[in-house]
Structure 1
Amino acid sequence: MDNIARTAVGLASLGRPAYINLGRDPELPADRTVDAMREATFAVLDRAYAAGVRRVDAARSYGRAEEFLADWLTARGHVDVTVSSKWGYAYVGEWRLDAAVHEVKEHSLARFRQQWAETRDALPVVPALYQVHSLTPDSPLFDDRGLQAALGELVDAGVRVGFSTSGPVQADTIRRALDLTVAGRQLFTAVQSTWNVLESSAGLALAEAHKAGVLVQLKETLANGRLAVDPPEVVADIARAHGTTPDAVALGSAYAEEWADVVLVGPAGVAQLDANLAAASLQLSDDDLERLAELRENPQEYWARRSQLVWG
């Protein structure tokens, strides 16, 4: 399958003024007004569409991401874009860079019903995929039969239901969630997990999911910008050898995983998008991939470092 067809543009960096991704500042408008961020979103989506990308991923907590996406779809008239979104976090940052809290998580039936209604109101199309945002083993969803039944109703309505994962025990979450059934039928048929050369602990569980027919999507493929802004020397060395950039090498390792159906990129601007998309045609050698695999960090340490990233 063509790697561009496997690519999705995530709007986490563009739908709100603050986020934890490194390297955003040079790409974003100097004045991060709503209008300026909308224009930046349009520019990225226009360039992605021209390159052949037909998948866009948003979330209720990505500020105005769904609104910007809706405006773009309406203005451009595109009808061949696969839209996915997520519920579970609410954006509470009030469009402030210095907000004390930017998002609040709640996996409840009430939050699902509220945010599904908001998503349907915001978008001109029904999302092809609606996901539980950042599912972890301690989520009340696992014991909430009412919430599970409501998600099952969404499946009955023709919407694919999935979940994203975060944290050092993603593999456990993936396997447990994929065992959930409603009325004898598997509830979740898509998963979106953090995977990159520094944090690849979910790889085996994701490969199992793909083999079972579940749509597997990789997020945070650049480790929230770490692999682009301050890449390990191995990544930089391989990039030099291929005449490309470190982010392309990091993304190239994600494309190399045959069980990865979708690889998400999260650019803050057109230049970052262009650099990211160079990975779609990059052919890493077996030796390259083996060297990159050696960069794997302890998951506990990786997620502890991620938790220290500052919103800005």
Structure 2
Amino acid sequence: MLLKGLPRIGLGLAALGRPGYINLDRTAQIAERSEEAMQQRAFEVLDAAYAAGVRYFDCARSYGLSEVFMRNWLAEQQQLVPGDGQIVVGSKWGYRYTANWQVEVPGGGAHEVKDHSLEHLNAQSAETLATLGGGGGSGGNSYLKLLQIHSATLESGVLEDKAVLSRMAELRDAHGWRLGLSLSGVAQGETLRRALETGIFDTVQATYNCMEQSAGQDLLAAKEAGLEVIVKEAMANGRVLRSPPLLAAAERLGCAPDALALAAVVQQPFEPIVLSGAVTPSQAESNCEAMALAESLRGIGEVEALMEALVVAPEAYWQERSELTWN
């Protein structure tokens, strides 16, 4: 198993690898957005996350310079040995970053464009290979261990594309990578069920949080089928942190609201690695408190009550997410 034994909080670089993202209150958290400033901020957050126990790091070709920042940070970590399994890096192919290092794209243009074609897989896997290295099989000398399809959907047809799936298997065999997919939207569960039928995936990454719980049973089925689960957007891009029930529970328990939101996901029976989306060192440190908090909350009913109080219909959740603005 790729992720077995790793601490249960990981770090996603979606909000660190590029100047704009859809998280709430981003402007108050990151002032300077130049490439140099963003790399420095990424280094600070990576330092804090690593010191707090994080050992899984999640990048994507469409996360701006996330792979470059990750590579440059790893190059400075003299205490680490590539390929020894202490650090695991995953990346994704399938979206192209198109914002040209801008927070607002002129004319309302897209920040990223989906392309699940074989040609795009070949191009982006080669770019990832050139940036992060060759793989983590036996004797592998790279931290890169996982290649994921970015936001696989039934509509894109990627799970029916035999040429793409065959090529991913070739990349797995050539570089010692594990294979995964990330999910998005109201049909996460249905897409995951189709992915399980292909038989080639080792991991699944899905949105799951106190508000959006619709994929829970399918994630549990995936775990029981042998896949490892990664959860993204466990704080709903910051929306869950404005929830009165969460804030009240955190005050009652004497913990940080962000740590409680993440702990609620860590506790789920599909045993995920839960990605922090921290953009400051203090956020990373607070997010990582979720690991100990999750253990202390087991069996006392707090998480169950919180999940029941905050859940919303997936259609409403994803509609609201679609209305978030890049900032």
Pick the TM interval, shorter chain: over 0.9
Q: How does 1:1-312 map to 2 (within 5 A)?
A: 5-28=7-30, 30-77=31-78, 78-79=80-81, 80-99=86-105, 100-124=109-133, 126=135, 127-157=144-174, 158-180=176-198, 186-228=199-241, 230=242, 232-282=243-293, 283-284=296-297, 286-294=300-308, 295-312=310-327
* Structure 1 residue 114 displacement after superposition: 0.3
How many residues are paired up?
304
Cα displacement string for residues 243-274 of structure 1 (whole angstroms, at most 9, x for unaligned residues): 11211111010111131231111101111112
Q: Report if aligned partners of 2:53, 2:288 keep a CA contact under 8 Å in 1.
A: no
Secondary structure in 2 matching 1:135? coil
**Aligned mates of 2:128, 2:6 — CA distance in 1:** 26
Q: Report if aligned partners of 1:154, 1:161 keep a CA contact under 8 Å in 2.
A: no
**Aligned mates of 1:221, 1:3 — CA distance in 2:** 21
Secondary structure in 1 matching 2:91? strand
**Aligned mates of 2:25, 2:285 — CA distance in 1:** 15
Secondary structure in 2 matching 1:161? strand
Q: Report if aligned partners of 2:258, 2:287 keep a CA contact under 8 Å in 1.
A: yes
- Structure 1 150/76 Cα, relative in aligned 2: closer, same or farther at 3 Å? same
What amino acid is aligned across from residue 6 of structure 1 in structure 2?
R
RMSD between superposed Cα atoms in Å: 1.6
Q: Report if aligned partners of 2:259, 2:286 keep a CA contact under 8 Å in 1.
A: yes
Identical pairs, percent: 42
What amino acid is aligned across from residue 60 of structure 2 in structure 1?
A
TM-score by length of 2: 0.89
* Structure 1 residue 169 displacement after superposition: 1.2
Secondary structure in 2 matching 1:163? strand
* Structure 1 residue 220 displacement after superposition: 0.5
Cα displacement string for residues 20-43 of structure 1 (whole angstroms, at most 9, x for unaligned residues): 011322322x22100000000001
Q: Report if aligned partners of 2:231, 2:274 keep a CA contact under 8 Å in 1.
A: yes
Secondary structure in 2 matching 1:224? helix
What amino acid is aligned across from residue 85 of structure 1 in structure 2?
S
Residue in structure 1 matched with residue 140 of structure 2 by the alignment: none
Structure 1 gaps, min length 5: 181-185
What amino acid is aligned across from residue 302 of structure 2 in structure 1?
D
Q: Report if aligned partners of 2:152, 2:159 keep a CA contact under 8 Å in 1.
A: no
**Aligned mates of 2:239, 2:24 — CA distance in 1:** 7
Cα displacement string for residues 120-141 of structure 1 (whole angstroms, at most 9, x for unaligned residues): 1111453211000001111221
Between stretches 290-299 and 86-95, larger displacement belongs to 290-299
What amino acid is aligned across from residue 18 of structure 1 in structure 2?
G
**Aligned mates of 1:278, 1:291 — CA distance in 2:** 20
Residue in structure 2 matched with residue 183 of structure 1 by the alignment: none
Cα displacement string for residues 89-148 of structure 1 (whole angstroms, at most 9, x for unaligned residues): 010100011112210001110010000000011114532110000011112212211111
- Structure 1 298/15 Cα, relative in aligned 2: closer, same or farther at 3 Å? same
**Aligned mates of 1:2, 1:75 — CA distance in 2:** 26
Runs of 4+ in 1 over 3 A off after TM superposition: 1-4
**Aligned mates of 1:191, 1:290 — CA distance in 2:** 24
**Aligned mates of 1:246, 1:136 — CA distance in 2:** 32
TM-score by length of 1: 0.93
* Structure 1 residue 2 displacement after superposition: 10
What amino acid is aligned across from residue 247 of structure 1 in structure 2?
D
Q: Report if aligned partners of 2:63, 2:97 keep a CA contact under 8 Å in 1.
A: yes
